[in-house]
Amino acid sequence: MGAERKLAAAEQVRPMFPVSLSLRPVILSLSKGGLAAIALTVLTLAVGAPRAGLAQGDSGADFRHAQTLFHDGKFAEAVAALDAYLLANPRDARALVLRGDAKADLGKNEDALRDYNAAIGINPDYQYAYVTRCETRLQLDDAKGALGDCDTAIRLDGSDAQAYEDRGDVHFAREAYDLALSDYDRAVELGRSTAYLFAARCDSERLVGKRDRAHSDCERALALDGKSRRALWANGRLALVEERYADGIAHLNAYIVQNPSSSTTAYYFRGLAYNRMGSYRNALDDLRTYVQRTPDDPDGYKERAVANYGVGDKTGALADLGVALRGYRKDANSAQADRVSAMVKAINAGQAPTP
């Protein structure tokens, strides 16, 4: 399994609120009293002018109430309000998309997808619907469908920086890092400036060998939001590649503490960093967590073997290498299988294994 592909869907570090991401920092900084006054204006900017079939009067007020609930982060209440609204206005594509976004923020991606599909069926030129469906399809591991949606969104509006950022995420997931970098560059050129975007571009630059640029973007990401998990992740990975293990551990510590249950991959890389520093007990703790959560990844067993040997458990190290060897052979990864065989020979010769 490739190092970047270890980042599972449950561990993705995109911000919440898929709709109107560029406007949300402004919205969320306002008092709740100010939200109601600007809610309709903001969502109109995000998803376009009102479409034919949008009811006016009391029904319009119901829709604005649902918007306010959404922007207050009351997603379940927003869904309930939109359920009622859509009973009377079943062909309101904006309401369907807003309900889909609320469901996505509740983790109900399949349900969200159905709402986006319905909205696009009503209005096939609804550009934002393709943007948000692209994001949701990527969360559902449908990279091909996500790419098609982002392509359509860009065809409908080539000036939408969010669409380029999202397509960059799709390319990144497909390990097409050059293409991801190109789209992230375009999003920045179009004026988008978020911690997430600069961190994603930092990761892409690292992976295509442009570390000079990566440093600048990673630093900017943290300057924009020192608590951004995406920024902490990118900085941690860059530090590890450059063998700045203490720095990498510090960034990964901050990443993990925010959400330990969704930090599986970070435990692997922090364990690797502890191993390289000779802090084998700490490494063993992290790698036990990783292997427990990801028992089919031979990389975890190989790295844990180093930690086991470091704390004096030769038997445990050889057992882990045996599992790793079987895993690499099953994956037809002959290079890593040979590496593990060499580690076994080293241990049997009384030498420390080199991963």
Q: Global pTM?
A: 0.83
pLDDT at 20: 36
CA nearest to 106, candidates 26, 17, 20, 28? 17
| pLDDT of amino acid 112 | 98
Q: Helix 211-224 crosses helix 229-241 at what angle (to 10 degrees)?
A: 150
pLDDT value for 60: 82
CA distances from 159 to 127, 129, 188, 319 (A): 11, 16, 11, 55
The CA distance from 20 to 219, in Å, is 25
CATH number of the domain located at residue range(s) 1-185 in this protein: 1.25.40.10
d(CA 165, CA 135): 10
Report the distance separating Cα 43 and Cα 53, nearest Å. Answer: 17
Domain ranges for the chain: 1-185
Residue 42's pLDDT is what? 36
pLDDT at 34: 32
Closest C-alpha among 344, 307, 309, 310 to residue 324: 344
Cβ atoms of residues 136 and 113 within 8 Å: yes
Query: How many angstroms separate the first and last alpha carbons of the chain?
Result: 15
How many Cβ atoms are within 10 Å of 93's Cβ, its own excluded? 25
Predicted confidence at residue 303, as pLDDT, reads 98
Q: What is the pLDDT of residue 15?
A: 52
Give residue 256's pLDDT: 98
Q: What is the mean pLDDT of each run of 10 residues along the chain (355 residues)?
A: 50 46 26 30 39 50 94 97 96 97 97 98 98 97 97 98 98 97 98 97 97 97 97 97 98 98 97 98 98 97 98 98 97 97 97 93
